Amino acid sequence: MASSDTATLLEDAADRIADISRADLQIMLRRAALRLRNAGAVSMEDDVEDALRDLSGELGKTRNDMIRFIVREWMEKNTYLPVHALDEDGDVDGSA
């Protein structure tokens, strides 16, 4: 079952909460919980896991935040995403 199908079922159940059986609602919620639990599971080779752990510890980020950061940076550098534009008058951390 695709995640959009699960989302549609949950939205439909929310619209008719009084009519849906407890068992059906329980099944839908368990499916949604399973999808959420498995959504962040990206396995890497041991050397990549070690590098991710070291880098996330060094930068004070979680493993998943580090993966999101790396993928975004790669996509921006390879023009799959627009680069974040900095406002000339905006505040930045650090000094020049």
Label residue 60 left, alpha or beta by phi (over 0 means left) and psi (-120 to 50 means alpha): left
pTM of the model: 0.48
Per the CB < 8 A criterion, the answer to whether 50 and 32 are in contact is no
One domain, residues 7 and 34:
yes
Position 12 in a domain: yes
Query: How many domains, the chain?
Result: 2
Q: Please give the residue range of the domain that contains residue 70.
A: 46-77
Tokens of 60: 């004070």
Instruction: Tell me, yes or no, whether 71 lies in a domain.
Output: yes
Flag whether 86 is in a domain. no
For residue 51, pLDDT beyond 90: yes
pLDDT tens by residue, 20-34:
899 988 888 888 888
In the chain, the percentage of residues whose pLDDT exceeds 70 is 81
In a domain, 82, yes or no: no
Residues 50, 72, single domain; the answer is yes
Mean per-residue pLDDT over the chain, rounded: 82
Mean pLDDT over residues 30-57, rounded? 85
31 and 53, same domain (yes or no): no
